[in-house]
């Protein structure tokens, strides 16, 4: 089987490459090799590689900047996905599209299920919902949230830097969801692909957290393994204390039961995966 991975240099793309199942021939391209604003280039690459599956880990992810660059965000997160799906329909391949909790408005009283109505409240969310709309009937959408990985640009590494540089940190307490280790996300996506799944699924790590809860755990776990050498106060604050151009869903917990039931695997708590990621981060030096 042949797979084409886009977004190869991002944290999810790297995790997909590292966790490719035995027997798969994998071609991975980053933005230096493929401009997602170039529909002809997308089509030419798919026609040349004829993948059985295209795993699209490429995305415009600058949530706040997207408020002033919605056209660009839409071009990368929606138009390019439509071009991928169209080209794959011609070559007989399938698309696995990674999406986000930002397609929801955060007003649910329970974890969001795959079939729940979407109502994005930001330009980024609208662009990702457009990408979901573009996939074909036999294709796969996997929504996720709060993704992090060793060596990547993410909340965990930002917190580690701030905890080294500052005497205290302030973190939002009233946005609720669940962190997601990129390695676990990659393994789930590969498992769904191997199961020839289609439709929409969810993946995040088990458990519930606020960004404040996550930050407290990051410091505790990092101190335990010597990745931090001092403890600083972590203060919980409200979203209103950190005004941003883009609105965030205040509740974006994803119901992943359909995914876990299909794959028949265990669901790992986010704190367990955080420990594994921090060990990897420590090994990177």
* Digit-coded pLDDT (tens) for 92-115: 999 999 999 999 999 999 999 999
Mean pLDDT over all residues of the chain? Answer: 97
- Cα separations (Å) of 114 from 53, 180, 259? 21, 17, 10
Mean pLDDT of 205-212: 98
Comparing C-alpha atoms, which of 8, 2, 16, 6 is closest to residue 188? 16
In words, the CATH class of domain 2-212+238-284 is alpha beta
Handedness of CA 16, 22, 24, 29 (dihedral sign): positive
Q: Pairing between strand 140-144 and 94-100?
A: parallel
Comparing C-alpha atoms, which of 102, 93, 98, 82 is closest to residue 42? 82
Indicate if the pLDDT at residue 266 is higher than 90: no
Tell me the β-bridge partners of 23.
Answer: none
Told to judge if 112 belongs to the known catalytic residues of this protein, a careful annotator would answer no
- Cα separations (Å) of 50 from 24, 33, 43, 93, 98? 13, 17, 10, 7, 20
Comparing C-alpha atoms, which of 103, 11, 124 is closest to residue 58? 11
**29-45 residue pLDDT tens:** 999 999 999 999 999 99
Tell me the β-bridge partners of 237.
Answer: 172
**H/E stretch holding 55:** strand 53-56
**Tokens coding 147:** 């993704």
Amino acid 285: pLDDT: 81
pLDDT confidence bin for 227, thresholds 50/70/90: very high
**68-80 residue pLDDT tens:** 999 999 999 999 9
Give me the residue spans of the domains in the chain.
2-212+238-284
Q: How far apart are CA 251 and CA 177, in angstroms?
A: 6
Q: How far apart are CA 27 and CA 146, in angstroms?
A: 26
Indicate if the pLDDT at residue 159 is higher than 90: yes
Residue whose tokens read 């299909």: 262
Mean pLDDT of 197-221: 98
Contact 88, 46 (CB under 8 A): yes
Contact 48, 54 (CB under 8 A): no
* pTM strictly above 0.85: yes
Q: How far apart are CA 278 and CA 285, in angstroms?
A: 11
**169-193 residue pLDDT tens:** 999 999 999 999 999 999 999 999 9
Mean pLDDT of 7-24: 97
Mean pLDDT of 261-277: 96
Alpha helices in the chain (DSSP H): 11-18, 39-49, 70-74, 80-91, 123-134, 155-165, 182-194, 211-224, 257-263, 270-284
Indicate if the pLDDT at residue 23 is higher than 90: yes
DSSP structure class, residue 103: G
Which three-class secondary structure state does DSSP give residue 60?
coil
Which of 124, 148, 201, 212 is flagged as catalytic?
Answer: 124
What percentage of residues in the chain have a pLDDT greater than 70?
A: 100
Mean pLDDT of 145-156: 96
**Torsion angle of alpha carbons 222, 227, 230, 232, nearest 10°?**
-50
């Amino acid at each position: 089987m042949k797979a084409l991975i886009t977004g190869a240099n991002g944290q999810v793309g790297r995790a997909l490459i590292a966790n490719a199942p035995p027997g798969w021939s994998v071609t991975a391209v980053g933005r230096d090799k493929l401009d997602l604003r170039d529909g002809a280039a997308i089509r030419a690459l798919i026609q040349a590689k004829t993948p059985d599956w295209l795993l699209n880990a490429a995305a415009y992810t600058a949530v706040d900047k997207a408020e002033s660059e919605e056209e660009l965000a839409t071009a990368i997160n929606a138009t390019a996905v439509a071009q991928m799906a169209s080209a794959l329909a011609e070559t007989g391949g399938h698309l696995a599209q990674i999406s986000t909790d930002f397609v929801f408005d955060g007003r649910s009283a329970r974890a969001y299920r795959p079939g729940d109505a979407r109502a994005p409240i930001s330009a980024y969310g609208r662009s990702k919902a457009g990408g979901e709309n573009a996939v074909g009937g036999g294709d796969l959408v996997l929504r996720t949230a709060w993704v992090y990985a060793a060596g990547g640009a993410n909340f965990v590494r930002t917190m580690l830097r701030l905890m080294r540089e500052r005497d205290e940190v302030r973190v939002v307490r009233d946005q609720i969801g669940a962190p997601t280790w990129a390695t676990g996300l990659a393994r789930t996506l590969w498992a769904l692909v191997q199961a020839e799944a289609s439709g929409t699924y969810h993946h995040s790590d088990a458990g519930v957290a606020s960004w404040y809860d996550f930050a407290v755990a990051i410091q505790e776990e990092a101190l335990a393994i010597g990745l931090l050498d001092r403890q600083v106060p972590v203060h919980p604050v409200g979203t209103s204390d950190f005004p941003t151009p883009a609105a965030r869903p205040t509740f974006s917990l994803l119901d992943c039961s359909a995914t876990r039931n299909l794959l028949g695997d265990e669901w790992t708590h986010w704190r367990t995966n955080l420990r594994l990621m921090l060990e990897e981060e420590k090994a990177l030096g």
